[in-house]
Amino acid sequence: MTDFKKLLNSHANLVESTLEGLLSHEIGNSDDELEIEVARPGRLVHAMRHSSLDGGKRLRPFLVMESAALFGVSPEESVFAASALECIHCYSLVHDDLPAMDNDDLRRGKPTTHKAFDEATAILAGDALLTLAFDVLSRKQTHPDASVRSELVQLYARNAGLGGMVGGQMLDLEAESKTPDAMEITILQSMKTGALLRCACVTGAVLGGAEQAQRMGLLQFGNQIGNAFQLADDILDVTSDAETMGKRTGKDADKGKGTLVGLYGLEKCRQLLDVYLEGAMEGLEDFGPEADILRETAQFIVDRKN
Ligand code: GRG
């Protein structure tokens, strides 16, 4: 296993144990003196655990932890912000898989949450994962400074919500009944998929108290890997299979969905991936070897097979 894969695994393990703790059946695992929760319904906890534990590449938390590491923030210090972002990602997958959205049966090689439970439970599990993310961000474990925590709350809300991921999902649904051009596809994808990835990179800058130029560099890196991630996903949707991906493939063509692969073809899209990769590397220009892991992450996104 390469050193990069080992690090990806060890960060994923830390996120897994943090989520495990957050999603315990018992109340009383927050750092607040005043406990406000009343009861945790067992079925809902089970559905949230099904949706978020033991699965996924944990790429967004990895990006949080490695961008924070640029500023000397340890994985143990960044893991709560990282896990909060993973909760938002998992909620989006649960809701995206619902019959009213993508209607999928398979996610991360397992039955989707509404298949393993039922639709109402899946909606609630997604809702509760989203709200849990903001609970976690508000905790002192995320950062001792309240102004940093408050900045993170705003950053996550704006990237996850109306002008970010949820807005992008709306544009994506609308795009099923028209033929979007390349610009429209790029904008909707930079919201639907890119928002959480760039949020991850900027989170590292916020946790680490980065200077503005460093923050802008990480923003550029996040934007470009977001573009690359979605384009790689669209290519894999055409070239890979459900067993490798752990989810249904061929979906875009089935739905007649406009993608850059559909507009430009595979060859040109592979070239475009290299352009995005170059842009991502440029974003890290002000950083030295300490950013090599992030550089490898960009390469991993472009080369990934699932
Ligand atoms: C329903 C509010 C709402 C938003 C949905 C994330 C999303 C927006 C839709 C998911 C649809 C999809 C498959 C988009 C392609 C990019 C993407 C987010 C893939 C899944 O991310 P990975 O590959 O998944 O990082 P793992 O399982 O590894 O975490």
What pLDDT is stored for residue 244 in this prediction? Answer: 75
What pLDDT is stored for residue 32 in this prediction? Answer: 66
Ligand 1 probe mutation, 59, 94, 123, 192, most atoms within 8 A of CB: 192
Decide: helix, strand or coil at residue 240. coil
Q: Whose CA is nearest to atom 26 of ligand 1?
A: 56
- Write out the E strands in the chain: 106-107, 110-111
Q: φ and ψ at 274, to 5 degrees?
A: -65, -35
More confident residue, 83 or 234: 83
Quick check: 221 pLDDT over 80?
yes
For 231-290, write each residue's pLDDT tens digit: 999 999 888 777 777 777 767 666 777 889 989 999 999 999 999 999 999 999 999 999
* 107 pocket-lining for ligand 1 (C-beta < 6 Å): no
Ligand 1 probe mutation, 63, 83, 193, most atoms within 8 A of CB: 193
Quick check: 57 pLDDT over 70?
yes
Quick check: 111 pLDDT over 70?
yes
Average pLDDT for the chain:
94
Residue 145 falls in which region: left (phi positive, over 0), alpha (psi -120 to 50) or beta: beta
Cα dist. 40→18, 48, 49 in Å? Answer: 18, 11, 13
* 149 pocket-lining for ligand 1 (C-beta < 6 Å): no
Q: What is the dihedral of CA 242, 298, 87, 124, to 10 degrees?
A: -40
Name the amino acid, one letter, at 94: V
What pLDDT is stored for residue 103 in this prediction? Answer: 96
Paired tokens of 107: 């996610």
Residues 6+ apart with CB under 8 A from 41: none
Residue 99 DSSP label: T
Residues 6+ apart with CB under 8 A from 286: 213, 214, 217
Paired tokens of 208: 């680490």
* 83 pocket-lining for ligand 1 (C-beta < 6 Å): no
Percent of the chain with pLDDT over 90: 84
Find the 286 Cα to ligand 1 centroid distance in Å.
30
Find the 49 Cα to ligand 1 centroid distance in Å.
17
What would the mean pLDDT of 170-180 be, rounded to a whole number? 91
Q: Which atom of ligand 1 is nearest to the CA of 192?
A: 8
Q: How many CB atoms lie within 10 A of CB 98?
A: 17
Residue 71 DSSP label: T
Do 113 and 47 form a contact (C-beta atoms < 8 A)?
A: yes
* Helix then strand then coil, % of the chain, to nearest 5: 70, 0, 30
| Residue with token string 């040109």 | 268
What pLDDT is stored for residue 305 in this prediction? Answer: 76
Decide: helix, strand or coil at residue 26. coil
Find the 106 Cα to ligand 1 centroid distance in Å.
13
The pLDDT-based confidence of 18 (bands split at 50, 70, 90) is very high
- C-alpha to C-alpha distance for 98 and 103, rounded to whole angstroms: 5
